[in-house]
């Protein structure tokens, strides 16, 4: 079952707690007693007691829609979806104008696996309601309904909408992540079935093995691609990234040299592959070949002026080559493009200090310290490895 945060929040979201005046006549006192006890039990989270009281109230006051609606919410919370559907339909007959019950009906039907019947109600609840909680619940159930009906592209579209609306919600992140993963798997399975020996399948296998650090299998797949198409763009770059990953573990010069060869081979095929040029620039910087590194970073930035990591790399080279004054401008641009990049802020503090700008240096250093502390507390994952991100030197002391 999709998680519902609390019965009280759910009941409030569906407008089921405010009972109208009870009907006059025999049993009125008893009805009021059950109503008060039921609402008190709901507020205290005693759902079994609330259910008993509202069931008794429904027997005494069968014509009050809000009583049946509140019972529906309680049944939904207790996973008694069949009873929830029954009470919703009763409430809707008594008062068609009662708000949001259609969404609750969609949620209940979906939980029973009646996805086709639930779908229009869930779509309306997700796309049209202004209530944040109802919209969230309908969106999560839509993921389930679309998946159950094998409407994978609609599930992905809904997942994107949920991520935009609730970017920090752990439950949303979990379920949408599963949707993306499932969709990727389905697409790759279709590729495998339709074209098992194609270049596209081999390239997908290589990338999958690379992401899992199964480098030997990845190299075999990528080399197979090059056998079929020697000038396939992007393949030498991927081989270069694998060699670079191996060098970072082994520190063997042959791995570093292999990375250089592959990046250069990529540029012969695709001169506009600035990622390959960026990696060569960083390798030059790591080898203290500063003049070459500056030329290569500048070539990257000529093609893509907003290549943020190249700006940080260029600033780092200027600092290493004792040209700190030149480092200020690219590092300032880098911090504007990505204000959360702690490496850029640290290098900017060094550059400003070397340039004699003490206040600016302290401001940059304070920003770095704040970001570094926050990233340490959050235990941030490493950056995506399409390129090698700029790193803080090991001796940096925040």
Q: What span, in angstroms and rounded, lies between the C-alpha atoms of 88 and 106?
A: 10
Q: Report the alpha-carbon distance of residue 91 to residue 96 in Å, rounded.
A: 8
- 3-class SS letters over 145-158: HHHHCCCHHHHHHH
- Name the fold adopted by 288-398: 1.25.40
- pLDDT at residue 130, rounded to an integer: 84
Write the pLDDT tens digit of every residue in 311-351. Answer: 999 999 999 998 888 999 999 999 999 999 999 999 999 99
Q: Which stretches of the chain score pLDDT less than 50? A: 1-9, 12, 15, 26, 377-384, 395
Q: What is d(CA 264, CA 249) in angstroms, rounded to the nearest whole number?
A: 22
Helices (H), 213-252: 215-228, 235-250
- Smallest CA-to-CA distance from 254 within 264, 239, 244 is with 244
* Helix-strand-coil split of the chain, %, nearest 5: 75, 0, 25
Report in angstroms the alpha-carbon separations of 19 from 70, 83, 104, 141, 218: 9, 20, 18, 28, 65
Pinpoint the residues of the chain covered by CATH 1.25.40.10. Answer: 7-190, 288-398
Q: What is the CATH number of domain 7-190?
A: 1.25.40.10
């Amino acid at each position: 079952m999709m998680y519902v945060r609390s019965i009280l929040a759910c009941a409030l979201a569906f407008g089921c707690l405010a009972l109208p005046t009870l009907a006059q006549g025999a049993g009125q006192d008893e009805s009021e007693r059950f109503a008060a006890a039921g609402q008190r039990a709901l507020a205290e989270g005693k759902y079994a007691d609330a259910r008993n009281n509202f069931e008794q109230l429904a027997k005494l006051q069968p014509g009050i829609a809000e009583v049946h609606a509140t019972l529906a919410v309680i049944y939904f919370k207790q996973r008694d979806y069949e009873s929830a559907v029954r009470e919703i339909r009763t409430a809707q007959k008594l008062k068609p104008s009662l708000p949001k019950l259609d969404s609750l009906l969609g949620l209940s039907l979906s939980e029973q696996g009646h996805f086709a019947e639930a779908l229009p109600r869930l779509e309306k609840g997700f796309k049209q309601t202004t209530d944040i909680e109802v919209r969230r619940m309908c969106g999560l159930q839509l993921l389930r309904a679309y998946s159950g009906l094998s409407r994978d592209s609609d599930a992905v579209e809904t997942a994107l909408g949920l991520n935009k609306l609730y970017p920090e919600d752990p439950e949303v992140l979990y379920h949408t992540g599963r949707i993306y993963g499932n969709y990727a798997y389905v697409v790759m399975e279709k590729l495998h079935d339709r074209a098992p020996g194609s270049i596209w399948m081999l390239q997908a296998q290589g990338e999958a093995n690379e992401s899992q650090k199964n480098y030997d299998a990845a190299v075999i797949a990528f080399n197979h691609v090059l056998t079929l198409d020697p000038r396939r763009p992007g393949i030498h770059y991927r081989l270069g990234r694998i060699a670079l990953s191996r060098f970072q573990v082994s520190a063997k010069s042959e791995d570093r040299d292999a990375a250089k060869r592959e990046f250069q081979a990529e540029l012969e095929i695709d001169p506009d592959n600035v990622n390959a040029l960026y990696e060569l620039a960083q390798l030059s910087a790591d080898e203290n070949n500063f003049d070459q590194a500056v030329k290569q970073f500048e070539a990257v930035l000529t093609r893509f002026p907003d290549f943020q990591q190249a700006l940080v790399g260029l600033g780092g080279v200027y600092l290493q080559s004792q040209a700190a004054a030149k480092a200020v401008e690219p590092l300032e641009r880098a911090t504007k493009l990505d204000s959360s990049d702690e490496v850029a802020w640290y290098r900017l503090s060094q550059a400003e200090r070397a340039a004699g700008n003490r206040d600016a240096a302290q401001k940059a250093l304070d920003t770095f310290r704040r970001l570094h502390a926050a990233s340490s507390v959050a235990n941030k994952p490493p950056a995506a490895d399409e390129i090698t991100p700029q790193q803080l030197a090991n001796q940096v002391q925040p």
